[in-house]
Amino acid sequence: MNDLTPRGGRAQAKAATRARIVAAARSLFTLIPYEQATLRHICQEAGVTMGAVTNHFVDKAEIWRAAMQCEPPVDSALTRAAGSMLAALKSLVALKNDPAALAAPNERVDLAWAAAEKAIAQAEGGMAVRSPAPGEGHETPEGSSGGRHPS
């Protein structure tokens, strides 16, 4: 069949709709982070119905791949926790290099360990990290007991 047949016209219209969706998604993804952009946003930006979007794409990730030519950002508990985990680790490293902070129990050390435990729990999807019972000794990074959390 040639492009003058109804079938050819429908194929062109379908390709044009897909191109509008991809262009709208590309524009939207440059303004809104992937995890915040919704299929509804893409529909509004493209001026199409949800049915048109789902006719061309299985999910938002497939739209991202078509629009951005790469895999979508990974959204997981681990990636959401990455920033707080890095900050907690930096605090612990700073304490390791501060003999005075490690010499005796203090609030700064406890806060650093609490932040690390919270970040780990967040990364594990909310699974609790067991905090020690009061008076339960913990190993310092150097291996000596001193009321500190384990490394």
CATH code, domain with 14: 1.10.357.10
Domain residues for 129? Answer: 76-151
Q: What is the domain count for the chain?
A: 2
Cα–Cα distance between 51 and 1 in angstroms, integer?
A: 27
Q: What six digits make up the tokens of 100? A: 């005075």
More confidently predicted of 96 and 71: 71
Domain boundary among 27, 48, 68: 68
Cα–Cα distance between 8 and 3 in angstroms, integer?
A: 4
Q: Where residue 13 falls among pLDDT bands split at 50, 70, 90?
A: very high
Q: Is 1 inside any structural domain?
A: no
Domain boundary among 28, 45, 68: 68
Q: What is the pLDDT of residues 24-55, one digit of tens each?
A: 999 999 998 888 899 999 999 999 999 999 99
Q: Where residue 5 falls among pLDDT bands split at 50, 70, 90?
A: low
pLDDT value of residue 115: 82
Residues 110 and 46 in one domain: no
| pLDDT for residue 108 is more than 90 | no
Which of 43-52, 71-80, 95-104, 122-131 has the least mean pLDDT?
122-131
Beta-bridge mates of residue 12: none
0.85 exceeded by the pTM? no
